[in-house]
Amino acid sequence: MFLIVFGAPGVGKGTQAKILSERLNIPHISTGDILRQAVADASELGLKAKKIMDSGELVPDSLMISLIKENFSNPKSAKGFILDGFPRTVAQAASLDNLMNELKMNNVLIIYLTANEDEIVKRLTQRLACSECKSIFSLSEIIEPDVCPNCGALNGLYHRNDDKEDVIRNRIEVFKSATLPVLNYFELNNKKIFEIDGLGAIEDIAVEILDAVEKFAKEKVVT
């Protein structure tokens, strides 16, 4: 079972991917983690990526696909994975599709978390980050004011520049123009897409997704 969690920034892709990974017992692959891991391992591709990132450039698609391929080849990913944060463009989707065909990964389900734009902006502008452990929290996760729920640091919570309204609006515009066409690409290539409102209660959404995954798995067994 190969799941791709798709949706606008701030819709909760990472949160759902993490829950799905635990309940389905298949690895959660985020491109950020892949990059960090490759750099930490100082693999050939990792060193290449580090050099590019250190110069302030974006890691090119070809390199990102190579890193993903390396990760897919890991025995841990053989039974399935949950991909989060990729693809972000139609070109990336096409490369990924080719790679999955090459590796005979057929059972691909796209989970599309939809969201009202103003709700996303509200959610993200209210987020706080911890200056000590770098964790990010929504307001509802903060139990005591000015105390990090993760590491307990005092007075370390702050609003990140990335979470300013104009920055978020801009990221949403980029998503709509560059990333949203990916859905159309997947549809044209006969991929199954499960759409769900990403802004409800986290557990309710997880249950509905798991239900859809189960149905999808059964259909695949029958056909």
Question: In the stretch 107-146, what mask flags binding to Zn ion with x, by CB under 5 A?
Answer: -----------------------x-xx-------------
> Hey, what are 141's tokens?
């996760």
Q: Does 53 bind Zn ion (CB under 5 A)?
A: no
| Triad 167, 115, 72: Cα angle to 5° | 85
CA distance 46 to 67: 8
Q: Which is nearer to Zn ion, 39 or 129 (CB)?
A: 129
Task: Record the tokens describing residue 32, joined without a space.
Answer: 């950020």
Binding flag, residue 151, Zn ion (CB under 5 A): yes
Residue 35 interacts with Zn ion (CB under 5 A)? no
d(CA 144, CA 138): 13
CB 39 within 8 A of CB 46: yes
Decide if residue 157 touches Zn ion (CB under 5 A).
Answer: no
- Given 18, 160, 191, 192, the catalytic residue: 160
Which residue in 88, 122, 169, 191 is the catalytic one?
A: 88
Looking at residue 206, the DSSP 8-state letter turns out to be: H
Smallest gap from Cβ 154 to Zn ion, in A, equals 10
At closest approach, how far in Å is the CB of 153 from Zn ion? Answer: 5
Active site residue 171: yes
* 191 counts as catalytic: no
In the residue annotation, 127 being an active-site residue is answered as yes
| 3-state SS assignment for residue 188 | helix
* Terminal-residue alpha carbon distance, the chain: 15
Annotated catalytic residue 160: yes
Q: Which residues of the chain form contacts with Zn ion (CB under 5 A)?
A: 130, 132-133, 148, 150-151, 153
